[in-house]
Amino acid sequence: MLSRHVVTASEAGSRTDVAVARDASAPRSRVADAIRIGRVFINDEPARASRLVIEGDILEYELSEPAPLLALPERIDLTICYEDEDLLVVDKPAGMTTHPAHGTRSGTLVNALLGYLGTLPGDELRPGLVHRLDRDTSGLLVVAKTPDALSKLGIAMKARRISREYLGLVQGILEFERGTLDGPMGRDPQNRLKHAVTREGRRAITHYEVVERFARHCELRFKLETGRTHQIRVHCAAMHHAIYNDPVYGRQAPGCPLPGQALHAWRLAFAHPRTGEPLAFESAPPPAFAQTRATLAAHGS
């Protein structure tokens, strides 16, 4: 059965495949498949993915059910910062999805971890994961190798006893040297593929301080008190200082060497789940981040 959607004023100007993906809360790859086999229509005519929709257009579509998701081992190089019998800390590159999802079924960090370790405890699609990073955010993640470590690290995360700090480049010049962003977050009511500060959302707290000011941008250091999806990116956009090169909450910068937002998880600290020993790790931003920073510092463009 075809689903039906009437394009609103706020959606006008979007590509057809984007508009359908938003309405269906589905990846564009599924929409592209449906368009290819003739199961997406605009005003009763077969749709083209690139056609820009206008207010009042009637979209009708039928998307095939996605194939079951599996997390399979793959031989992918990992940057391992620390490992013992209970856990490992990895440095994820920008551009790598943390775990399989309908838009990315292979090449993820979980695929690489399973290729390296064979098995991990926990959820079938998120085994060993205590937390995650957005695909285009680089940096440190702790991974549990045993059920006991996964349980204890999960408890520590919920109790806010795992410290996570990020470096980010943002648009514009902040007025204050440091501050706290305290805004509840949930799904964006206008776009189900995004998140936003909403009155009905869950509390989200981000602390920040200015590392350096450039002509038109700043480098900030962030510390998370909570860990909502896209938290730093949403909070920065809400205060009108979007993360530089963020294609979802800001805008992509022509010629930027980063695949997405200029955000790096540079420091991770927690107590070892078995011994209680304090552990802390730091990771320098990758070359593309450093290059972007140098460009902003030199030119302010």
Domain CATH code at residue 251: 3.30.2350.10
pLDDT of amino acid 183 = 93
* 226 within a domain of the structure (yes/no): yes
Does residue 168 sit in the same domain as residue 203?
Answer: yes
35 and 157 belong to one structural domain = no
Helix (H) / strand (E) element for 83: namely: strand 80-83
Containing structural domain, residue 119: 80-299
Tell me whether residue 142 is in a domain. Answer: yes
Active site residue 44: no
Instruction: Please indicate, yes or no, whether residues 98 and 200 belong to a single structural domain of this protein.
Output: yes
pLDDT at 300: 52
Asked if the structure places residue 69 within a domain, the reply is no
Question: Can you list the alpha helix ranges (DSSP code H) found in the chain?
Answer: 16-24, 28-36, 109-117, 147-158, 231-238, 287-299
Q: How many domains does the chain have?
A: 2
Q: Do 37 and 161 belong to one domain? A: no
Is residue 192 located within the same domain as residue 294?
A: yes
Q: Is 19 in the same domain as 136?
A: no
Return d(Cα 156, Cα 124) in angstroms, integer.
21
| In the block, residue with structure tokens 């809360």 | 25
d(CA 229, CA 30): 23
H and E: helices and strands count for the chain: 6, 15
Question: 89 with 210, same domain?
Answer: yes
Domain identity same for 51 and 183: no
Chain centroid to Cα 135, Å, comes to 5
In the set 17, 134, 136, 246, the catalytic residue is: 134
- Smallest CA-to-CA distance from 18 within 45, 56, 47, 44 is with 47
Q: Decide if 103 is inside a domain.
A: yes
> Which DSSP state fits 7?
P
In a domain, 15, yes or no: yes
Residues 24 and 107 in one domain: no
Are residues 283 and 204 both part of a single domain? yes
Domain end marker among 33, 61, 89: 61
φ, ψ dihedrals at 249, nearest 5°: -105, 0
Residue at 216 is within a domain: yes
The CATH number linked to 23 is 3.10.290.10
Judge whether 14 lies within some domain: yes
Name the domain boundary from 31, 61, 91. 61
DSSP of 61-79: E-PPPPPPP----------
- So what's the pLDDT on residue 301? 47
Query: From first to last of its 301 residues, what are the pLDDT tens digits of the chain?
Result: 899 999 999 899 999 999 999 999 888 888 999 999 999 999 999 999 999 999 999 999 999 887 778 899 999 999 999 999 999 999 999 999 999 987 788 999 999 999 999 999 999 999 999 999 999 999 999 999 999 999 999 999 999 999 999 999 999 999 999 999 999 999 988 887 799 999 889 999 999 999 999 999 999 999 999 999 999 999 999 999 999 999 999 999 999 999 999 999 999 999 999 999 999 999 999 999 999 999 999 975 4
pTM: predicted TM-score of the whole model, two decimal places: 0.80
- Domain annotation covers residue 74: no
Burial of 145 (0-12, 13-18, 19+ CB in 10 A): buried
For residues 214 and 153, membership in a common domain is answered with: yes
Residues 96 and 41 in one domain: no
